[in-house]
Structure 1
Amino acid sequence: MTHHTESAARTDVSIDGRTIALLVTDGVELPELTEPIAAIRRAGGTPKIVSPKESSLQAMKGDWEHADHFDVDHQLGTVSAADFDALVLPGGTLNADALRIDEKAQEFVSGFFSESKPVAAICHGPWILTEIGQVSGRRMTSYAALRTDLTNAGAEWVDEEVVVDGGLVTSRTPNDLEAFNRTLLELVAEKA
């Protein structure tokens, strides 16, 4: 392991006792699920997968290559924002497209904004935010393909590694995960 990788793996941020939901379904982009989970654990937090799926879901590498299966901790509709300290919305086109039209998913995500809890969305993850009216007037980023959707919904879209607007963290692609994870953990630690 190189020195650079070791320093990237460590975190100065502690979120001991905090539980963070990751809202995902089939088609989630693999590193956008696994890397935030690892970062949350390293910082002392507890990651929980929330999904419309009952038992397990299929992650993807890109949109075509099947990756690992993941166990679901909580089925959507059995938990709410009150049960968690923050929310992560990973990308993956199929995942994000399915969740944005799921009424239980919309209700779940809306709860984090109502309770002013941190929300972090990467890649296609911000798509659902257009459906629940949480984009207008915000400075944010996403996978480039969502730029028009977010702009049309009233966002100021920027091409940056990580953008924070109030309690919302957004990033573009898996290449931004290190900054995305660090920024999320810092926000959660601040709220603690």
Structure 2
Amino acid sequence: MASVLMPLAEGFEELEAVTVIDVLRRAGIEVTTAGLDGKEPVTGSRKTQIVPDATLEEVMDQDFDMITLPGGLPGVDHLKKDERIQNLIDRFNDKGKYTAAICAAPTILAARGHLEGRQVTSNPEFQNQVNLGEVDYVEDPVVVDGPVVTSRGPGTAMEFGLKLIEMLQGEPARDEVESGLVRIH
């Protein structure tokens, strides 16, 4: 079974976290949410609270197939400043494992140079406000460049989650989950 780690920090974007968690779990993917500050409820940018499955410390040494980072402010700032998150991202990158980031969260990957030379996207507000580095910036809803997946924001969260399913379990699994969602194209 594929496994995904989603760290949650105060001020995360709810749609980007909950939508992705839900869609991945519909595909039978094991998603572990990890709180930076323990198992206390983590409050999102719109005041929704989520009780994480584990503490970040509890999962630091586990072997996940992917790490996915929700956007939202100040959640992204908290993730970017946390040395444990930076170490995890470096470890995933060094092993060629999937790193996924949506909205403002690609700036977390950029802070460590993991977007250099890649095709990426992000929330348009962060394209020029934050140094994404030397990247090929595109405005597609979801962009995959090797093991790095980026997406634009809350409105692309469903497509982002479906793409993550496709990457971890293949197109048939994605199609099966998508058909049950009754999406209108």
TM-score (norm 2): 0.84
Q: Which of 50, 71, 75 is the matching residue for 1:91? A: 71
**What letter matches 1:163 in structure 2?**
V
Name the structure 2 match of 1:26: 10
**Aligned partners of 1:74 and 1:154: how far apart in 2?**
35
Q: 5 Å matches for 1:60-99?
A: 60-61=45-46, 66-67=47-48, 69-80=49-60, 82-99=62-79
**Aligned partners of 2:140 and 2:61: how far apart in 1?**
28
Q: Percent identity?
A: 30
**Aligned partners of 2:93 and 2:122: how far apart in 1?**
19
**Aligned partners of 1:58 and 1:155: how far apart in 2?**
32
- Per-residue CA deviation, residues 83-114 of structure 1 (Å, 9 max, x unaligned), is 21111111002100111111111001221111
**Aligned partners of 1:29 and 1:118: how far apart in 2?**
21
1:57 aligns with 2:42: yes
How far residue 43 of structure 1 moved from its aligned partner, in angstroms, is 0.3
* 113-122 vs 133-142, greater mean Cα deviation: 113-122
Query: Could you list the runs of 5+ residues in structure 2 that have no partner in the other structure?
Result: 171-185
- Per-residue CA deviation, residues 146-167 of structure 1 (Å, 9 max, x unaligned), is 212244x111111111111001
User: Are the equivalent residues in 1 in contact too, given 2:45–2:73 (CA < 8 A)?
Assistant: no
**What letter matches 2:7 in structure 1?**
L
**Aligned partners of 2:95 and 2:7: how far apart in 1?**
17
Query: Could you list the runs of 5+ residues in structure 1 that have no partner in the other structure?
Result: 1-16
**Aligned partners of 1:160 and 1:150: how far apart in 2?**
19
Q: 5 Å matches for 1:1-192?
A: 17-55=1-39, 56-61=41-46, 66-67=47-48, 69-80=49-60, 82-148=62-128, 149-151=130-132, 153-189=133-169
**Aligned partners of 1:137 and 1:189: how far apart in 2?**
27
- Per-residue CA deviation, residues 162-185 of structure 1 (Å, 9 max, x unaligned), is 111001111101111222111111
- Aligned-residue CA RMSD (Å): 1.5
How far residue 71 of structure 1 moved from its aligned partner, in angstroms, is 1.5
